[in-house]
Structure 1
Amino acid sequence: MGPDEDGDGRYLPISEHGMIGDMRSVALVGVDGTIDWYCCPSFDAPSVFAAILDADRGGSFRLTASVPSRTKQFYFPDTNVLITRFFAEDGVGEIQDFMPILGDSTEADRHRLIRRVLCVRGTMPFSAVVAPRFDYGRSSHTVRRQDGMLVFECPHLKLALTASVPVADDGRDARAEFTLSEGETAVFALDRVDGGLAPRDCPLHEAAEQFEQTVCYWRRWLSQSRYRGRWREMVHRSALTLKLLTYAPTGAIVAGPTTSLPEQIGGERNWDYRYVWIRDAGFCVYAMLRLGFTTEATAFMEFLSRHVSLRGGDQAPLQIMYGIDGRTDLPEQELPNLEGYRGSAPVRIGNGAVDQLQLDIYGALIDSIYLYDKWVQPISSDRWEEVHDLVDWVCEHWDTPDEGIWETRGGRKNFLFSRLMCWVAIERAMRMANRRGLPADLRRWREARDAVYHWIMKKGWSPERAAFTQHEGADVLDASVLMMPMMKFMAPTDPRWLSTLDALTADLVSDSLVYRYDPKASPDGLRGDEGTFSICSFWYVEALTRAGRLDDAQLAFGKMLTYANHVGLYAEQIGQTGEQLGNFPQAFTHLALISAAFNLDRALG
C-alpha cells in the first residue's frame, strides 16, 4: 500500500516503516525517509518526533530525494541498520539509518542517531527538514548555533544536530537542500547533549567508523543463534527485533516501542505498550532461549531481582507491568493535543491496566524461570524463596475472577486461560523442586494443581460447543486456549483438544488469521472492533503442528509470512484487507513466530 492509499495522504501505513535502535530507545523510519517516531532518552520518555500520531503537530525528521523517485527499504544483512533507497531519473541514492552501539557508557548516553546519505549512481538532490516537537508536542523549544551545530532545547531535553552540509534554521526547525554526485556522502547526526554531555561533531569518517562498528555488533550478536531451519531469515529478523526491544541499562523487555497506534482506524483501542509486561517478557525469554540467546534471559532475571519486589498484604504479589526502570506507577492519561494516527483518538500515555489482576502472569513468569533454571543456570536460593512465595499465593488465589490475558475492561470473570497458567505456575515449580531437591510444600501444591486441572476440565468445557471456552458459564471461544497443548496441560492429540481446535478454526480463524475472541459475543468494555491478533495466528500454527496436521500448519505459517511488512516486521494485529494495526513492531508477534518456526521445523524433520 502506498502512502496515499490509506485514506489520509499525511500518514504512511503503519507497516511502511522500519525500526532502528540502540537498546535504549528506537526510531521508526518511513519508506519515504521520514523519522516520524522517536523518544529520547528511553523507550518511555516523551517523544521528540511523533508525526505518526499527528502529522501536523507531532514533529518529524524528513530526509528524502527532492525529485520524483521510487523508494525501497531493507536492512543491511543480519543487522538493525536500515537502508532506504531512492531511484530517480538521474541517479540512485540511499540513506543509512542507525543508532551506534558503543561500549563507552558515556557515549551511549548521547543516544546518537546517524543518517548517512549516499549517492551511489549519477546525481541526486536531497532535502532535509528537522522539526522536533518535544514532550508529545506540548513543549516549545529554542534553536541556537554552537560550534557549528544546531542545538534544539526545551526545559527537559537538549539535542544537537550535526550536519556535513549547510543547514539553515528559522528559530524552530532546521532545513537543508543539497545535491550529491556518485560516490559522495553527507551525514546528519542527532545527539542528546544535556546531563553533562557536551555537543560533539560527527565528521564523515566518524560516521563511517560507527557504521562499521554497529554492523559488526549486530552480526556478532546474531552469530550466537542456534537456529538453522527453513525460515532462518524471518526467525533472525524476529530475534533482532526482540533485541531492539530490550532496555540495556536494566535488562527490561518492552512489549512494543510505540503508543496509541490503533487496533481499529478511528477507534478508541489505543494503548501505550512501552513497558515491561511480565507475561510478554516471560514468553520472550522462552523464545530467546530457544535460539540460544542466554544473555538476554540472564539480564531479564537480573531486572526481576533488582527492580521487581513482591508486594505484601492483600494485594497480588506482582503487578502485571512495570516501567523499564522497575517503577510501579504508570498513570494513564490522554493527550488531546494530538489527533492520533489518521484521527484515531485518544492518544494515551501510561497504562491504566497496571492495576488489573491477571493471574496468568504467574504461569508465564515461573515457566520462564523454570526454563532458565534448566537451560542456563540453576536459580539462586533467594530466587527460589520468591518462587515459593508466588506459588503459595497462586494456590490460595487461583480461583479468583480476574481481567484475563486480554486486559478486558468489561469486568472480572473466571477465565480459563488464567486458570491454565496458574496450573503452569504450580506444575513448573514442582518440577524445579523435584529435580533439585528444593524445599516445597509439595502436597499442598499438588492438591492445588489438581484442583485447577479438574476446574478446567469440568467448568472450562462446553458440551454444547464440544470445546474449551473463554470463561466459566459461557459458550464463547477464545484463541488463548490454543496454549493448552503448548503448555503441556493436555496431549495435542487428545479428542477434547482436537474438537476444540476444530471449533476455533470454524469460529475464529479467517484464512489462517485468528481473532482473539468475538467482542460482540463477549463484551470487553470497549467500543468498536479489532483485527486478527497475530500472536494467536502463530499459536494456531503451533497447535496444528503439535496435533500432527503438518500440511495445514505449513500452509498457515506460509500465509502468515505474507503479512509481514517489507522488512519482516509485524504490528500487533492484521486488519480486514491485510493492513497492519496496533503498536508496531510487537514483541508478542515476533516471539510467537520464533516458537512456531522452531517447532514446525522440528516436526517436519
Structure 2
Amino acid sequence: MEQPAISDYGFLSDCRSGALVSRDGSVDWWCPDRFDGSAVFARLLGPDAGHFQLGPVGAGGAGHRVERAYHPDTLVLRTVHHTPEGSVAVTDALAAEVGARAHELGMNSPGVLIRVVEGLSGRVRMGLDFVPRPEHGLLTPYLYDQPDGSVLATAGPVALVLGARGLPLRAGRDSVRQEFEVSAGQVVGFHLAYGGTYGEPPVRVDPLTTLAETIQAWEAYRETHTYPGRYPELVRPSATVLTGLTYARSGAVAAALTTSLPEKLGGDRNYDYRYSWLRDFAMTMRALWVAACPHEASRLFAWVTRSIGRIGDEPVPVVFGLEGERDLTEHVCPHMPGYGGSLPVRVGNDAWRQRQLDVPGEVLAAVWRLRDYLGDTFDEELREMVLGLTEQVACTWHLPDRGMWETREDERHYLSSKVLCWTAMDRAVLLADRLGAQADPRRWAVIRDEIRDTVLREGWNERIGAFTGAFGSAELDASALFLPITHFLPATDPRMRSTIAVVERELGTEDGLVRRWNTDPAGFLLCSFWLVECLAMTGQRRRAAELFERVAGHANDVGLFSEQVDLGTGAQLGNTPQALSHIGLINAAWRLTDPNWY
C-alpha cells in the first residue's frame, strides 16, 4: 500500500484527543486518552501499527473520486466517495459529551470515534478493516464477539468496543474485516469506544444521535466567537483547528497532533510535537484573542502559571506536557519504520532540558497583552511568576542558548533569544506598577537598554545589510522577521526595511514561502506569515495581501497546514496539523486588518 501524503489527512478532535483520517477512509492515528498519550492506531508511522479503514471496496481505482469538507465551524468531516456503482458519504467525528455546549466542549469527552455511512446513489460495496494495535503498535489485542453484535478488543491497559447500528460484527483473530453494501438512503453508523482494561469501561452510544449532538456542540462553540477582520473564511477554520488542538481539561494548546512526521523525507529531524510550548505562548495568545475569545486565552494563561510553578535558579522549560508535566524524556520506538522511512520515531521531547532564554519574554509579552483583563493589582501567584521570570532574565540574558529552532548542536548567542530577553525586561518595566514593592523598574530599564544596545551592535551585519541569526554570524535566519512583531524595532526602521528585503530575496520563494535559513530545503509556514506581517507594517499592504493569499493556498483541501512545504514538490512536511502555522495565518490576517496592532 502506498503511504498517503501528509496533506491527505483530515483532523478530528474531541478537545481531549485527536485522530487523522485519510482521503480513502483510513484512521491512521488516534491517541484516545489524550493528545500526548499512546496511540491505538499508528499506521501513519508504520504499516503494522494499527488502523481503522472504512470505504468503498477497491477505492482508488478507475472512476473513484473523493470530495470532502468539514461541517461549517466544526471538526466533523464528511467524505463523499463517487464510484462507478454509486456514491456514498462517510462522516467522521470524535464524540462530544451528550449535552455539551460552547465552552463545555471537551471537558468530559467520552472517548468515542463515530463513523456514519450514508448511501447517496446506486449501491456501493463497503469494506471495514479494524486493526487495533495499542501502545504505538507494540500490542496485539485479543478480540471477542459480544452478545449485542459488537466486538471487544483488549490488550494491556486498553479496552476498545467496536459496534455498528444494524450490522452485526464478527471478530477475527486480531482484527475485524467485513464487507457490506449500502444503497441510496441507507445509513449505517459505527462507534468505537475507548476505555481502560482496569478502569472505566468503554461508553456505549448511539452513533447517529451522538453525531448530531457533536455537530451541535461545535456549532454552539463557534457561535460564541466573532471575528471582525479580513479573510474570515480562512481565520474561522484556523481558529477551529486551534480549538481542536486545545486540551480542554487544562487549557493547554498542543503544538501539533502528531509525533515524528519529518521535516525532510528520509531525514532525522523528526520530533514529538504533542506538547505545549511556552515559546509559542504570546503568538498563541494573540491568535486566540483575535479569533476566539478571552475564555480560551485566560484558561491558557492559568495553565502557564500553574505549570511554571515557583521559579528557582534552573531555567524555565520551553515545553510542558498538557497537564503541566516537566519531564518529557525522549525515547525512540525502534519497532516503527517511520513516515516515508524517516527515522527515528520519537516519543517525548528532550527540548525540555534545553536552556531557552526566549521563554520569559514570550510569557511576559502575554501578560502585557492581558494586563487589562488581569487587573490593576496582580494576585500573589501571578506577581511571583512575573518577578521571578524578570530576575531570571536579568541574570542570564548574556548567556548562550539553543535558540528558537531548538538546535541540538552547541549553544550560541541567538538574535531572537536576545530580542525576547529585551521583550521580557521591557514588559516588566511597563508592568512594574502592578508588581508591588519588589518591582525594580529603574534597574530593569538599565538592563533592557543594555540588551538593546548589544543586539543592535552584535546582531547587525553591515556587509549583508541585515540582522542575522546569531551574533557575529553571516547566516541569514527568518527569525529576524520577529523583531518588529515584538516591537523591538519598527518595521519602517532602515535596518529593518533592509532586513525584510534581504530575507525576502534570499530566503523567499516564488510561491510566497520563506525558508528559515539558506540550507533549509522547505518553506516554513510561520515565517512566511511573519513576512506578510512585516510587509503590512511597512505600508506595503497590497503586496502583503497577495503574499498572504499565496501562502494560505498551501493548505490542504480541508484547510489544514502542517509545519512546512517542500519547495520542489509542494508537499506538506512535518507534524500536522501544526498550531503555529494556523496561528501565523490568524495573526497575519489581523495585521492586514490593522497594521498598527500591538
Alignment TM-score > 0.5, same fold:
yes
8 Å CA contact retained: 1:145, 1:151: yes
Are 2:584 and 1:592 equivalent residues in the alignment?
A: yes
Cα distance change on mapping 1:247 and 1:107 into 2, 3 Å: closer
| Counterparts of residues 205-604 of structure 1 (less than 5 Å) | 206-313=206-313, 315-316=314-315, 318-375=316-373, 379-434=378-433, 440-511=439-510, 512-519=512-519, 530-576=521-567, 577-603=569-595
The 1:107–1:380 alpha-carbon spacing in structure 2 relative to 1, beyond 3 Å, is closer
Secondary structure class of the residue paired with 2:215 = helix
1:99 aligns with 2:94: yes
Q: Which amino acid aligns with 1:476?
A: E
Q: Is the 8 A contact 2:17 2:30 kept in 1?
A: yes
**Structure-2 separation of matches of 1:377 and 1:22:** 33
Count of residue pairs brought into register by the alignment:
582
**Could you tell me how far 1:403 is from its partner in structure 2?**
0.3
1:186 matched residue in structure 2: 188
How far is the alpha carbon of 1:307 from its aligned partner? 3.2
CA distance change for structure 1 residues 438 and 294 in 2, over 3 Å: closer, same or farther? farther
Structure 1 partner of 2:22: 30
Displacement of 1:221: 1.7
Which sits farther off after the overlay, 300-309 or 34-43?
300-309
Deviates more, 1:413-422 or 1:147-156: 147-156
Matched residue, 2:42: 50
Deviations 1:325-348 (A, max 9, x none): 211111111111111111111111
Superposed CA offset, 1:516-562 (max 9, x none): 1134xxxxxxxxx5411110000010011101112221111111121
User: Taking structure 1 as reference, are residues 418 and 64 closer, same or farther at Cα in structure 2, changes over 3 Å only?
Assistant: same
State how far apart, in whole Å, the 1-side matches of 2:29 and 2:202 are: 23
Query: In structure 2, how many angstroms separate the alpha carbons of the residues matched to 1:393 and 1:504?
Result: 32
The 2-side partners of 1:305 and 1:326 are apart by 10
2:524/2:564 contact within 8 Å kept: yes
Query: Which of the residues 173, 187, 190 maps onto 1:171?
Result: 173
Counterpart contact for 2:45–2:339, Cα < 8 Å: yes
Give 4+ residue runs of structure 1 displaced > 3 Å after superposition.
103-110, 198-202, 375-379, 434-439
Q: Secondary structure at the match of 1:263?
A: coil
CA distance in 2, matches of 1:107, 1:301: 17
* Structure-2 change in CA distance of 1:280 and 1:168 (3 Å): same
User: Alignment partner of 1:598: what SS?
Assistant: helix
SS in 2 for 1:345: coil
**Is the 2:49–2:138 Cα contact (8 Å) retained in structure 1?**
no
**Post-superposition offset of 1:230:** 3.4
Partner of 1:197: 200
Superposed CA RMSD in Å reads 2.0
- AA of the residue aligned to 2:207: A
Distance verdict in 2 for CA 1:382–1:201, change over 3 Å: closer
Aligned partner letter, 1:163: A
**What's the TM-score, normalizing by structure 1?**
0.93
How much identity, in percent, do the aligned residues show? 35
1:439 to partner: Cα distance: 5.2
Is contact 1:38–1:50 with CA below 8 Å preserved after alignment? Answer: yes
Q: What per-residue deviation string (whole Å, max 9, x for no partner) do you get for residues 395-433 of structure 1?
A: 111111000000011210001100101111111122222
Is the alpha carbon distance of 1:438 and 1:223 closer, same or farther for their aligned partners in structure 2, counting shifts above 3 Å?
Answer: farther
- In the other structure, the counterpart of 1:41 is 33
Q: Which runs of 5+ in 1 are unaligned?
A: 1-8, 520-528
User: What displacement does 1:374 show?
Assistant: 2.8
- Structure 2: distance between partners of 1:424 and 1:466: 24
Q: Secondary structure at the match of 1:52?
A: coil
Moved more, 491-500 or 285-294: 285-294
Moved more, 417-426 or 367-376: 367-376
User: What corresponds to 1:75 in structure 2?
Assistant: 70
Q: Matched residue of 2:280: which SS?
A: helix
Give the stretch that moved more between structures: 266-275 or 188-197.
Answer: 188-197
TM-score normalised by structure 2 residue count: 0.94
Give the secondary structure class of the aligned counterpart of 1:189: strand
In structure 2, what is the Cα distance between the partners aligned to 1:292 and 1:177?
43
What is the one-letter code of the residue matched to 2:557? H
Shift of 1:466: 1.3
Residues 40-99 of structure 1: per-residue CA shift (max 9 Å, x gap):
2111111111111112x1110000011552111110111110111101123211111111
Return the letter of the residue paired with 2:145: R
> Cα distance 1:599–1:224, how it changes in 2: closer, same or farther (>3 A)?
farther
Q: Structure 1 stretch 573-582 or stretch 224-233: which is displaced more?
A: 224-233
Alpha-carbon spacing, 1:129–1:376, altered in 2? closer, same or farther (3 Å):
farther
The equivalent residue for 2:159 is 158
Offset, 1:121: 2.1
Q: How many angstroms apart in 2 are the aligned matches of 1:481 and 1:506?
A: 14
Q: Distance in 2 between matches of 1:298 and 1:604?
A: 24
User: In 1, are the aligned partners of 2:107 and 2:248 still within 8 Å (CA)?
Assistant: no
Contact 1:51 1:60 in 2 (8 A): yes
1:127 shift after superposition: 0.7
Residue aligned with 1:513, SS: coil
- Of stretches 266-275 and 133-142 in structure 1, the one that deviates more from structure 2 is 133-142
Q: What displacement does 1:572 show?
A: 0.3
CA contact 1:163–1:189 (8 Å) conserved in 2 = yes
Is the 1:110–1:197 contact (alpha carbons within 8 Å) kept by the matching residues of 2?
A: no
Distance change in 2, residues 1:264/1:108 (3 Å): same
Instruction: Supply the AA of the counterpart residue of 1:198.
Output: P
Amino acid at match of 1:451: E
Contact in 1 for aligned 2:14/2:109 (Cα 8 Å):
no
SS at match of 1:443: helix
Unpaired runs of 5+ residues, structure 2, are none
| 1:210/1:246 CA distance change after superposition, 3 Å | same
Q: Which moved more, 1:255-264 or 1:86-95?
A: 86-95
Paired residues of 2:311 and 2:385 also in contact (CA < 8 A) = no
Following the alignment from structure 1 to structure 2, what is the Cα–Cα distance between the partners of residues 376 and 552? 37
Partner SS, residue 67 of structure 2: strand
Distance in 2 (alpha carbons) for counterparts of 1:484 and 1:200: 50
* Matched letter for residue 59 of structure 1: G
Q: Give, in whole Å, the separation in 2 of the partners of 1:207 and 1:592.
A: 36
Distance in 2, Cα, partners of 1:193 & 1:464: 62
Matching of residues 109-128 of structure 1 within 5 Å: 110-128=110-128
Distance 1:514 1:48 in 2: 36
Q: Structure 1 residues 273 and 10 mapped into 2: Cα distance closer, same or farther (>3 Å)?
A: same
Structure 1 residues 597, 319: CA separation in 2 closer, same or farther (over 3 Å shift)? same
Query: Helix, strand or coil: the match of 1:128?
Result: strand
Q: Aligned pair in 2 of structure 1 residues 199, 474: CA closer, same or farther (>3 Å)?
A: closer
Q: Distance in 1 between matches of 2:501 and 2:305?
A: 42
Indicate the SS of the match to 1:163: strand
**Quick one: distance in 2 between partners of 1:309 and 1:604?**
34
Matched residue type, 1:363: G
Structure 1 residue 108: deviation in Å? 3.4
Q: Return the offset for 1:443.
A: 0.8
Cα pair 2:432 2:440 within 8 Å, conserved: no
2:370 aligned counterpart, secondary structure:
helix
Question: What is the distance in 1 between the residues matched to 2:490 and 2:230?
Answer: 26
Contact 2:279 2:318 in 1 (8 A): yes
Q: Secondary structure at the match of 2:7?
A: coil
